[in-house]
Structure 1
Amino acid sequence: MNSQDTQLIGVLARADSTASSLSGLLAGLLSRFAERGFPLYLVGGSVRDAMLGRLGHDLDFTTPARPVVVKEILEEWAETVWDTGIDFGTVSAAFKGQQIEITTFRADTYDGDSRNPEVVYGDTLEGDLIRRDFKVNAMAIELRADGTSQFHDPMGGLQDLAAGVLDTPAAPEVSFHDDPLRMLRAARFVSQLEFRVADRVLAAMHEMAGEIQRITVERVHAELDKLMCGVAPWDGIDVLVDTGIADYVFPEISALHMTPDEHAQHKDVYAHSLTVLRQAVEQEEDGPDLVLRWAALLHDIGKPDTRDTSSGKVTFHHHEVVGAKLARRRLKKLKYPKAIIEEIGQLVYLHMRFHGFGENQWTDSAVRRYVTDAGELLPRLHKLVRADCTTRNERKARRLQRTYDELVHRIEVLEEQEDLARVRPDLDGNEIMRILGLSPGPEVGQAWAFLKEQRLEHGPLDREEAIAKLRQWWESK
């Protein structure tokens, strides 16, 4: 018995164990379907994840029963039922912590212009499975109330799963023409499952990359987030860049592929960015951090626009400023929430601040400004800056880490002495107005900004010193 046969036995055993446990949990549901003469199949990603030992609390089922019948059965059995997807043949329910979606067999047709199918109900399980995106998602397990089950794999998904391959049930050109979103899903599954894409699928993705423009930005955004939160997002991004799909959905990432000048060499910025992403992920403590991951991938996207070789050496002056603008602009086009756009943009903007100082060169003022500008992003900024060290020169790497360790220590020391998380002027607006005899207006804001600058530069001032500096500033105006 070879290793693949052994692996097949293992995944089938996991699937069988999952089927047995679900048959017990869902016995009431299964018996109701059986009484009406309808089978019920665990299907798609639920079967795949069961075989991989990673099944969650969202269960997908298919059945020949029409949606009206499915809804009636669920309302008899489930704790909660909702039918927001009923136009597409899907009814959802919740039962003992499980979210269940049951979709009637489908045999849809597509118009070739949008990804919205004309919903056509099917009559066979095989007809339903062949319309799915990938073979590994085209397997089904019929669950029965007596605890038995039957595995169905007409497309050969089990072999692909054991080999870690993503291939389409039908010709990939047909599949992607029907629904171009499947190309993004291929990259997403590379990230989530660490599978590779079959050669014929990669070729079709490259040939049909422009078809992704038929997909709404909201759907692109959702798939990109799932990709970025996978276990290997760098591999998923690589698929998008290599096939040319990134040229349409996030061209600034593709642009990181810059050809080094013969006489002014620089590291491969694209490869560096993927390494920084990987190293940022390695520092995560509580699961995927979407903001940190995007910032790590995008931290150098300003380099193509700032590349300069006029001095005989390649430079990228102010690439963090340009990069922050580019990141904000692209994420806005992809309709990311404003708060996330700002956080990612600010991390890109700040990632070079550390490199403006060397060992033993951080003044108290510089430390205060670093912490204040980062604000709540400081823990992420620490991780991003550390991840940005990809040099193969071990001595340089140790020096950079030592310098950053020193900065973190300085922050901790000042934090014990001052409230760095909330650096504010030593006088509030009401005191400023009373001392200077002002009414509310822009001059109060200017005075407040002056005092905050003094606080950052000199640390906490006692009240009399703060008043003296304020009066001196006012008189100089």
Structure 2
Amino acid sequence: MDITCSKEERNLLERVAAAAEKLNTDAYLIGGFVRDKFLGRSSKDADIMCIGDGMALAQAFAESFSPALKVTLFKNFGTAQVKLPQGFEIEFVGARKESYAAHSRKPKVSEGTLQDDQNRRDFTINAMAVSLRRSNFGSLIDPFNGIMDMEQKLIRTPLEPDQTFSDDPLRMMRAIRFAAQLQFTIHPDTFAAIHRNRNRLSIVSQERITTELNKIIQSKKPSIGFDLLYKSGLLEIFFPQMIALAGVEIIEGKGHKDNFYHTLQVLDNVAYRSDKLWLRWAAILHDIAKPATKRFEPQHGWTFHGHDALGQKMCTGIFRNLKLPMTEPLKYVGKLVALHLRPISLTKEEITDSAMRRLLFDAGDDLEDLMILCESDITSKNKFKVRRYLDNFALVKKRLQEVEESDKIRNWQPPIGGDVVMKVFGLSPCREVGLIKTAVREAILDGEVPNNYDDAYAFMIQKAAELGLKPV
């Protein structure tokens, strides 16, 4: 074969070829598996296209492999999927040609030839096919020079790009996703067509857009994708809050940093340190409220007071608009956005045990992720300044570890809770219960009261007396 396959993969493809010959049909390996093999990337799924009935070929392949092997049929789409025991998936489909209506990205599909099927592919690097016919098994069929584009690291459409993107606007997101994942360049003509057709994205569901966006975020260097989304005009369509970060304003000779490109740097820094999707989202949103809180003060220059708290609130609307999970991921991202200034502020002041206890208590199990975000937020063109901040930050991390070991405050619950307050003073849930409970917690975190039941109880009695309450 022209592509390098493992022995197991070749055996599977030879089984497909034998099943196709039995049905007297031509079959081809096509799409992402072919691309990834040429690029030396591992792949756990393959697409098989045949001239005729893809579902029948799937059944024939499965029967030759094992009578117990299950075939999942998707009759509405004319496709079938076979999941093999070793975790490899093969999808079978008949060759087809497509035609699109202006209002929809869902095509009218009819049977087609190999050429029809390659014409409908999104990019040249995904249109390459490998023959599974016995007479030319393993030969490459590459009518659009996908191999050359891979050598030149180019993303390009097989046919005229305006038609490709107008037919299925999600392909614009996919072009940028592949550019980010593979670190390829989008061909100038193709990129210009993305910009011209950007408003066509409105016919694509937000769920599909966000799926592609998350794949961009999970790439090795996500800033590549976000920069392309910004310059193409796509980002403004579905994520205008991020566009608002872009640009620099200068008053009296004083300018602030471009918070859009700062955010991309922080995102890349986090991506270098962690694969966690939602931690990367926290990087994207950590400064999202800066445009709304930006003020110029003659004595201090530009300020963004409260952007951490407002940013946490903005997360809810952004998650809702982007159809991201309104559950634990939102809570987690909002929490990190709200706390992202805290560790950095500790590098600029005397580190007190009280401040450390509060950070440990508020961050809980997410402290390590918060520290990754904050360390990634230290960006500057001045290498000495960055080194100084990182050194100070290392002191904060060391001090946090010491306080955690001595006080065990992380995920801590105060020894006096609301149930104790209500029982001692004969109260139902009310404002006074909350005041007393909060006062006890704050006093322990501030180090004013030792972290034990007896001292906390005595403080509770004292605080209640100030509110005119006595034990029953």
Q: Does TM-score exceed 0.5, indicating one fold?
A: yes
Aligned with residue 375 of structure 1, among 334, 358, 364: 364
Corresponding position of 2:12: 25
Is the Cα–Cα contact under 8 Å of residues 423 and 455 in structure 1 kept in the other structure? Answer: no
- Helix, strand or coil for the counterpart of 1:101? strand
Report the CA distance shift for 1:280/1:346 in structure 2 as closer, same or farther (over 3 A): same
Is the Cα–Cα contact under 8 Å of residues 55 and 93 in structure 2 kept in the other structure? Answer: no
How many Å apart are 1:373 and its aligned residue? 1.7
Q: In the TM superposition, what are the counterparts of 1:335-346 in structure 2 within 5 Å?
A: 335-338=323-326, 339-346=328-335
How many Å apart are 1:406 and its aligned residue? 1.6
- Helix, strand or coil for the counterpart of 1:314? strand
- Helix, strand or coil for the counterpart of 1:107? strand
Report the CA distance shift for 1:20/1:425 in structure 2 as closer, same or farther (over 3 A): closer
Moved more, 449-458 or 149-158: 449-458
Aligned with residue 343 of structure 2, among 354, 366, 373: 354
Report the CA distance shift for 1:25/1:460 in structure 2 as closer, same or farther (over 3 A): farther
Aligned with residue 322 of structure 2, among 295, 314, 334: 334
Report the CA distance shift for 1:259/1:19 in structure 2 as closer, same or farther (over 3 A): same
Corresponding position of 1:305: 292
Q: Does 1:293 align with 2:265?
A: no
Corresponding position of 1:406: 395
Is the Cα–Cα contact under 8 Å of residues 190 and 232 in structure 1 kept in the other structure? Answer: no
- Helix, strand or coil for the counterpart of 2:401? helix
* Aligned-partner Cα distance in 1 for 2:193–2:134: 43
- Helix, strand or coil for the counterpart of 2:295? coil
How many Å apart are 1:146 and its aligned residue? 9.5
Q: In the TM superposition, what are the counterparts of 1:207-222 in structure 2 within 5 Å?
A: 207-222=196-211
How many Å apart are 1:201 and its aligned residue? 0.9
- Helix, strand or coil for the counterpart of 1:17? coil
Corresponding position of 1:451: 440
Is the Cα–Cα contact under 8 Å of residues 24 and 145 in structure 1 kept in the other structure? Answer: no
Q: Does 1:226 align with 2:215?
A: yes
Aligned with residue 396 of structure 1, among 359, 365, 385: 385
Aligned with residue 373 of structure 2, among 375, 378, 384: 384
Is the Cα–Cα contact under 8 Å of residues 19 and 143 in structure 1 kept in the other structure? Answer: no
- Helix, strand or coil for the counterpart of 1:60? strand
Is the Cα–Cα contact under 8 Å of residues 217 and 334 in structure 1 kept in the other structure? Answer: yes
Q: Does 1:95 align with 2:84?
A: yes
Moved more, 355-364 or 466-475: 355-364
Is the Cα–Cα contact under 8 Å of residues 23 and 144 in structure 1 kept in the other structure? Answer: no
Aligned with residue 49 of structure 1, among 26, 36, 41: 36
* Aligned-partner Cα distance in 2 for 1:260–1:289: 33
- Helix, strand or coil for the counterpart of 1:422? coil
| Residue identity (%) | 33
Corresponding position of 2:118: 129
Aligned with residue 269 of structure 1, among 255, 259, 266: 259
Unaligned runs of 5+ in 2: 468-472
Report the CA distance shift for 1:466/1:156 in structure 2 as closer, same or farther (over 3 A): same
Report the CA distance shift for 1:442/1:28 in structure 2 as closer, same or farther (over 3 A): farther
Letter paired with 1:419: K
Q: Does 1:193 align with 2:212?
A: no
Q: In the TM superposition, what are the counterparts of 1:37-186 in structure 2 within 5 Å?
A: 37-76=24-63, 77=65, 79-83=69-73, 85-97=74-86, 98-122=88-112, 124-143=113-132, 148-186=137-175
Report the CA distance shift for 1:324/1:462 in structure 2 as closer, same or farther (over 3 A): closer
Report the CA distance shift for 1:318/1:23 in structure 2 as closer, same or farther (over 3 A): same
Corresponding position of 2:194: 205
* Aligned-partner Cα distance in 2 for 1:237–1:382: 24
Unaligned runs of 5+ in 1: 1-12
How many Å apart are 1:439 and its aligned residue? 4.9
* Aligned-partner Cα distance in 2 for 1:417–1:423: 13
How many Å apart are 1:82 and its aligned residue? 1.1
Letter paired with 1:382: M
How many Å apart are 1:443 and its aligned residue? 5.0
- Please report the RMSD computed on the Cα atoms of aligned residues, expressed in angstroms: 2.2
Corresponding position of 2:308: 320
Letter paired with 1:404: F
Is the Cα–Cα contact under 8 Å of residues 98 and 110 in structure 2 kept in the other structure? Answer: yes
- Helix, strand or coil for the counterpart of 1:48? helix
How many Å apart are 1:317 and its aligned residue? 1.6
* Aligned-partner Cα distance in 2 for 1:359–1:172: 53
Report the CA distance shift for 1:28/1:358 in structure 2 as closer, same or farther (over 3 A): closer
* Aligned-partner Cα distance in 2 for 1:169–1:20: 32
Is the Cα–Cα contact under 8 Å of residues 108 and 117 in structure 1 kept in the other structure? Answer: yes
Alignment length, in residue pairs? Answer: 459
- Helix, strand or coil for the counterpart of 2:416? coil
* Alignment TM-score, normalising by the size of structure 2: 0.91
Letter paired with 1:457: D
Corresponding position of 1:418: 407
* Aligned-partner Cα distance in 1 for 2:440–2:351: 22
* Aligned-partner Cα distance in 2 for 1:475–1:151: 86
Moved more, 179-188 or 332-341: 332-341
